[in-house]
């Protein structure tokens, strides 16, 4: 297992990190299965576990807490908040009121007195940067979090938050967690240059592109991934976006075969090759999934393979831009593009 420094924190984390979104009802993973996944991941050298309060409405955090009991000090533990946790309008967002409550709830579910990394799951346009950063700084000073970061922030919001931290003399985000894969390379154009400029650690989620790059999706075969059951529209081949993805997958499969690699090794090796990326978050549901992904732990793609990938999906291009989670609101809501 390779280890990298998480931004400028000095903390060493594994190049592959264990994402726990599938723990609980989302992935239909039981406690025994989750514990087995954590055990094997730790034995393989993974030392970063990432979860969120929103994953199965707290169930993922509870499972992670039970799985790491007795081994807390050896784990870099990360969780997230801001996504809706109930129909109550104030049980979400980046306000001081909610973040204090959300973190206490997460600590209780995880069975710990602090987390190493507390992340803002999505930018909250209704809350000022000063409000959120002030709350996070106070939680850090209270010893409940060691560091804090952002997740799926557009580049301009990352810059704005860095400016706000300096302007108001508050602690700053030290990490960003964006979606990144061979099929979704848009962050190379804007987000990754910004994270490099500010020295942020980058934890890339969905490096297998929701299963498109797992090797299970090929032309002429029924598409059967866990995500295809939850989000069938993302695999509907009547949609031009999905036909483009399938065409890219077929070309990538040839590159992987010629290099003597599995598709998973190609996909994870690509993500961890970028100098701005600290870790790729893998989210296995089963031990078999985990083992095939761990096989990529030491994969280093040579320049000719990386060049070949560039000919299939050009740098900075998203094959499914409509699935981005960091799109400025004005691009999604026409009313925001009209003078009042």
Q: Radius of gyration (Cα) for the chain, nearest Å?
A: 19
Asked if residue 198 lies in contact with residue 150, where contact means CB atoms within 8 angstroms, the answer is no
249: which 2 tokens? 């997958």
**CA 334 – CA 206 distance, rounded (Å):** 29
| Angle, helices 59-67/96-110, rounded to nearest 10 degrees | 40
User: Which residue in 3, 55, 173, 180 is the catalytic one?
Assistant: 55
**CA 46 – CA 52 distance, rounded (Å):** 18
| CB atoms inside a 10 Å sphere around CB 288 | 9
132: which 2 tokens? 């959120």
Q: For residue 224, what is the DSSP state?
A: -
**CA 2 – CA 196 distance, rounded (Å):** 20
Strand partners, 117: 78, 147
Helix (H, G, I), strand (E, B) or coil at 23: strand
Residue 3 annotated among the catalytic residues of the structure: no
Q: State the catalytic residues.
A: 55
């Amino acid at each position: 297992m390779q280890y990298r420094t998480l931004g400028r924190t000095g903390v060493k984390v594994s190049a592959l990190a264990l994402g726990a979104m599938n723990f609980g009802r989302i992935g239909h993973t039981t406690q025994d299965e989750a514990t087995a996944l954590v055990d094997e991941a730790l034995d393989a050298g993974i030392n970063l576990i990432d979860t969120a309060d929103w994953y199965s409405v707290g169930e993922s955090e509870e499972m992670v807490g039970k799985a790491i009991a007795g081994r807390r000090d050896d784990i870099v533990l990360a969780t997230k908040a801001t996504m809706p946790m109930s129909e109550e309008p104030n049980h979400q967002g980046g306000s001081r009121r909610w973040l204090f409550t959300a973190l206490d709830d997460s600590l209780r579910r995880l069975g710990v007195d602090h987390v190493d990394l507390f992340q803002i799951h999505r930018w909250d346009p209704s809350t000022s940067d000063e409000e959120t950063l002030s709350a996070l700084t106070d939680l850090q000073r209270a010893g409940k979090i060691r560091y804090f970061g952002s997740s799926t922030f557009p580049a301009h919001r990352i810059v704005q938050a860095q400016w706000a931290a300096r302007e108001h003399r508050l602690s700053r985000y030290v990490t960003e967690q964006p979606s990144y894969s061979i099929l979704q390379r848009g962050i190379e154009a804007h987000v990754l240059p910004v994270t490099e400029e500010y020295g942020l650690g980058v934890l890339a989620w969905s490096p297998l592109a929701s299963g498109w790059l797992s090797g299970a999706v090929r032309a002429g075969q029924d598409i059967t991934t866990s995500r295809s059951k939850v989000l069938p529209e993302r695999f509907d081949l009547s949609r031009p976006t999905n036909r483009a993805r399938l065409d890219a997958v077929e070309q990538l499969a040839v590159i992987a075969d010629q290099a003597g690699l599995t598709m998973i090794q190609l996909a994870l090796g690509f993500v961890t090759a970028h100098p701005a990326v600290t870790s790729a978050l893998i989210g296995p549901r089963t031990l078999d999934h985990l083992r095939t992904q761990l096989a990529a732990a030491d994969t280093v793609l040579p320049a000719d393979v990386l060049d070949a990938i560039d000919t299939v999906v050009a740098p900075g291009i998203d094959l499914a831009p409509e699935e981005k989670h960091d799109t400025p609101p004005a691009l999604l809501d026409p009313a925001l593009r009209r003078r009042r």
